[in-house]
Structure 1
Amino acid sequence: MSFDKEVDARNLNCPLPILRCKKALNELAAEQVLKIMATDPGSKKDFDAFCRQTGHSLLEMQETEGVFTFWIRKRSQ
Structure 2
Amino acid sequence: MQPRWKKGKLISTRLILNDSRMNPDLEIDLKGLNCPLPILRTKKTLATLDSGKLLQVLATDPGTPTDFAQFCQQTGHELISTEQVDNYWKFLIRRK
Query: Would the TM-score normalized by the shorter structure come out above 0.5?
Result: yes
Task: Determine the structure 1 residue equivalent to 2:40.
Answer: 19
Distance 1:61 1:48 in 2: 9
Where structure 2 has 5 or more consecutive residues not aligned to the other structure, the ranges are: 1-21
Deviations along 1:19-77, one digit per CA (max 9) or x if unpaired, are 110011001000000000000000000000000000000000110112100000000xx
Which aligned runs of 4 or more in structure 1 are off by greater than 6 angstroms?
Answer: none
TM-score under structure 2 length normalisation:
0.76
Q: CA RMSD in A?
A: 0.6
| CA distance in structure 1 between the partners assigned to 2:36 and 2:23 by the alignment | 26
Counterpart check, 1:50 vs 2:71 = yes
Residue of structure 2 equivalent to 1:28: 49
Aligned length: 75
Unmatched segments (≥5 aa) in structure 1: none
Percent of aligned pairs with the same amino acid: 47
